[in-house]
Every structure is written in structure tokens, then in C-alpha cells.
Amino acid sequence: MAETKREIERKYEATDTTGLPDLTRAPGVSAVLDRGVAELDAVYYDTPGLRLADDSLTLRRRTGGEDAGWHLKFPVASGIRDEIRAPLADTLPAELAELLRSRTREEDVVPVMRLRSSRQVHHLVDDAGELLAELSVDTVRADRLPGGPGTSWTEIEVELADDADPAVLDAVEKRLKKAGVRASSSASKLARALEETGGGASAGAPAADGPGEDTAGGRVLAYVREQVDAIVALDPAVRRDLPDSVHQMRVATRRLRSAFKTYRKVLDRTVTDPIGDELKWLAGELGVARDHEVLIARLDSRIDELPDTLLLGPVRARLQAEAASHGDEARTKAVDALDSDRHLALLNTLDALLADPPLRKAATKDAAKVLARAVRKDYDRLAGRVERALALPSGHDRDLAMHEARKAAKRARYAADAARPALGKPAKRFAKRVKAVQSLLGDHQDSVVARDALRTLAIQAHAAGESAFTWGLMYGREEAAAAARERELPEVWAKASAPKLRAALTH
């Protein structure tokens, strides 16, 4: 069974003669305990094209030390990584292979580097003897596999102990720098080994020439690449059930699909439309989990708003049961989609599109002019839908119209976001106003969905012999919330539809 450990560490350059300063002079450190020498032997794995190294991931099988086994590390921030550990085995454990699937695709991982380290371990403890950090002086020998060149070096590594104050790392670093020890220029041992033995993935053949950065094609492709990278990177996060990961991945699919629609003068829609259909499928599979998550959170907050005297029957217990039963099903559906051949085919198709983009004539033109025109066109589409919604009386038809307006608002906002590098502050202001419209319409739609769920919960409660009073009360509150959003829409739309916002986008 794999386990996850948050690794917070800093690395420093050293030589065989580098001495450690008196670290007990660092605030909080009362003693430095010598824990002896550990001999570590690790083989690092990657695809033949070093896809993992390209994304700053490391996968190794290590023997020696207290944590022998398979280790997969994902970058979180500078100096921070999540290390996922699995027991020592001859082959890559399935639970780690699944987390790598969006990178490795159909390829097997192969040994690319062997690192043997002689590690002198020191424990930095406080006056109560509690571990603050582990400092190690590593003498490293790296050999490129199979049968490639080798290199060696010495480095100092300081890793924060679980639940320790990160300030201890600053205090130790201050003492090290005062002694002449400098921070390492490499983020990891593997990165340094690859660089010193012939380079990493970026050392391959140069990429083919593409459209210039300031052309419409250059700007749109940069945005497309950003969303594709997000989809790939969020795949393991969804599998790990990290907070907000499903939502972020779904947003990336929607942004990408919207870009294909908005910028069809730049990218040939005969190529992008089929990809858009696949993105819609993926967003739909992810949406089951995300929509359920949003619904439960909304209903839970509605229950919290009510005094205990109005909570008649096992209201919280019924909602918790609903969350558990459908939540597990929704998560399974999302992971099954990521495991499917269809998802892999989509990722490969997106790679192919970026490698050989289907550019149209407008792609060579000035980005500001082409993108501004596309944003204004999406605004016109939004305006038509909002005006239709406002013209309808309250009820089912208006609910549907407001939902359609919400989708148009999202597309217009995404279009402006993509255009920001070319259009600057006018696009940012426009996106901000349209986002307010989208948020209002989104809350209205959430109320529509919540009312459907509340009606079902009330029927279930009644059938079980429970009081349906509280569910009915919550239904009424959701009706009131929707009505309030409908009353607010004209004012919010007036701000978003101000002519000066669109005039500023003109180039």
C-alpha cells in the first residue's frame, strides 16, 4: 500500500572537505546528533524520452536506509515535494504506475540513472529532544544507464521533520551561508546527474519553428499548451483525490474546448471540433464527481443556516448517506475515465495538435486584432442569451435560458483570459465583469439543481416515515435565492455590457 509524505528540504553545494558550522547557534536547535552513515543505492526510472524529468517528477527504486522501496515524487512548490512510497518490489507497483499514466502513456519506464550515496546523517533536535530536521552530507556517484557516463559530487541536504516549524530551515541556512556554504543550483540529485552526464529531455532535437509570439497563432497555441499541460498534470491529482483537483481538471478541459470554438479563425475547426467532442466527454465524466461535490456542500451549508428547532428528523444523517453513496460512485466514474483508452487517445491527439498545429491564415496576423475580434464576437453571443433570459417570466424556461447564458458567459470570460497577454488590462477588466455575470448565473443554476435534489430527498424521507418539513423549508429558501439572483442580474449585466469595456478591446 502506497503512502504519501510531504517532503520539505533544501540542498547545498559541498566538497569532501566542507565542514559543518556549529548549528546549535541556530535558533531552536539545541543539539546536533550524529546518526552514522547510511549506504543508499537507487535506480531512477523514466520513459526513453525522459517525460518524467521534463515535468520535474522522479521515480526511483532504492535500497538501503530506513525507507527502502519505490518512491515517486511530485513537485508542489520550490523545495517542496510530495513523496509517494510503495514497498520494495522487483517491478513498478501498479498504484504508482497509475499515477504516471498521463505522462508515460503506452510507454514502459526504463532505468535511466543509478545513484549510490554514502550519507552521513545528523539529527537537529530542540531542548526537549524532538526532531526538527535531518541534515545529511551525501557523497554521490551517478552513472547513466545503460552503460553511459558517470559523475560524482558531494552535497548537503536539510529536510524538515514532520510538523516542525519551517523557520528552522531558514535558521540553519543562515548558519550554513555564514560558513560559506551555498545553495545548490539543481532541484534534485537526478536533475544534476542528468545535466552532468549529457542533459535531460530538453537536450533532444530542437522543436520545429512555429508562429511568432505576437501573432494570433502564437498566442492561441501558448494558451492551448497551458491547458493541455494542466490536464496532464492534474491526472494524478484526481487519482490521489487531492482537494479541488477534479474541478481544476474540468476547468482546463472547458477552457481548451472554448478556445477551439472562440479561435476557429486561428485553428482549423475540422481538426479541433472532434477534439472538442472528446474534451466534452471528459468534462462530463469528471462533472459527475464535481457536481455532486458542489451540491452536497451547498445543502450542508443550508442545513447549517437553520436553527436546531427546524431540523426535524435525521436530516444530517440522510445527507451524509447521500454524500457517501453517490460520492464514491462519482469518484469511481472519474478515475475509470482516466484509465480508459479513450482518455489516452485524447492526450496523444492533443500532443499531435501541438506538434503540428492546424493553423489558418489568421494565425500569422497580429494577435491583438484577431483576438480582440474573437472576444467581441463571444460577447455578442452572451448578450443575446442574457437578453433572452431577462425577457422571459420566472419559471422553467427562464431557468434554462439563464443556464445557457451562464455557459456563454464562461466562454466569453475564457476568451478574454486567453487574450490577456495580447490585450492587457482591457481584457482583464472585461473578464472580471463577465466573471461576475457568470458567478451570478452559476449560483442560480446551483439553486435549480439543489431544488431537484431537495425534492428527491423529501420524497425519500417521507417514504421512510421521516418528516419532510426541513427539506421543504430548504426548498423554499433555494427558490428565494434563485429569485434574488434573477433580480440582481440586470444590474450586474449593465456593468458587464458597458460599451467602454468593449471599446477598450478595439485594436
CB 196, CB 142: distance < 8 Å: yes
Cα-to-chain-centroid distance, residue 184: 27
Residue 289 pLDDT exceeds 50: yes
Confidence check: pLDDT of 49 > 80: yes
Report the amino acid identity of residue 442. Answer: G
Q: Strands, E, within 454-499: which ranges?
A: none
| Interval 110-139: pLDDT, tens | 999 999 999 999 999 999 999 999 999 999
By the 8 A CB rule, do 251 and 295 touch?
no
Torsion 300-302-308-312 (CA) sign: negative
Sign of CA dihedral 414, 417, 421, 425: positive
Nearest to 8 by CA among 75, 87, 84, 99: 75
Per-residue DSSP letter, 267: B
pLDDT at position 324 is 84
Give the mean pLDDT of 241-264: 95
Mean pLDDT, rounded, for 450-479? 96
Q: Which residue has the higher pLDDT, 304 or 207?
A: 304
pLDDT on residue 205: 40
Q: Give residue 413's pLDDT.
A: 97
Q: Is 202's pLDDT higher than 60?
A: no
* DSSP output for 5-65: EEEEEEEEEE-TTPPP--GGGSTT--EEEEEEEEEEEEEEEE-TT-HHHHTT-EEEEEESS
What is d(CA 215, CA 223) in angstroms, rounded to the nearest whole number? 13
Reading the block at residue 474, the C-alpha cell is: 430548504
Fold of 3-203: Hypothetical Protein Pfu-838710-001 (2.40.320)
| pLDDT digits 0-9 by tens, 364-376 | 999 999 999 999 9
Which residue from 5, 170, 15, 128 is spatially nearest to 76, judged by alpha carbons? 5
Following CA atoms 410, 412, 414, 420 in sequence, which dihedral angle do they give, to the nearest 10 degrees?
A: -150
User: If pLDDT is split at 50, 70 and 90, which confidence band does 200 have?
Assistant: low
- Domain spanning 207-361, CATH class: mainly alpha
pLDDT at 204 over 60: no
Query: For the segment 131-176, what is each residue's pLDDT rounded down to a tens digit?
Result: 999 999 999 999 999 999 999 999 999 999 999 999 999 999 999 9
In this prediction, residue 507 carries a pLDDT of: 56
Calculate the average pLDDT of the chain.
93
**pLDDT band at 484, cuts 50/70/90?**
very high
142's grid cell? 551517478
Is a pLDDT exceeding 80 seen at residue 201?
no
Provide the pLDDT for residue 80. 95
Percentage of the chain lying above the pLDDT 90 cut: 88
8-23 tens-digit pLDDT? 999 999 987 888 999 9
pLDDT higher than threshold 80 for residue 210: no
Name the pTM for this structure.
Answer: 0.89
**Is the pLDDT at 415 greater than 80, yes or no?**
yes
Cβ neighbourhood burial of 69 (10 Å; 0-12, 13-18, 19+): middle
Specify the pLDDT at position 15. 84
pLDDT band of residue 209 (cuts 50, 70, 90) is low
Question: What is the arithmetic mean of pLDDT over 276-300?
Answer: 91
Give the residue-averaged pLDDT of 199-227: 76
Is the model's pLDDT at 1 over the cut of 80?
A: no
Q: In terms of Cα–Cα distance, which of 485, 391, 499 is closest to 447?
A: 485
pLDDT, one tens digit per residue, over 431-455 is 999 999 999 999 999 999 999 999 9
> pLDDT tens for residues 328-374?
777 888 899 999 999 999 999 999 999 999 999 999 999 999 999 99
C-alpha dist (Å) from residue 295 to 33, 124, 292, 421:
52, 47, 5, 35
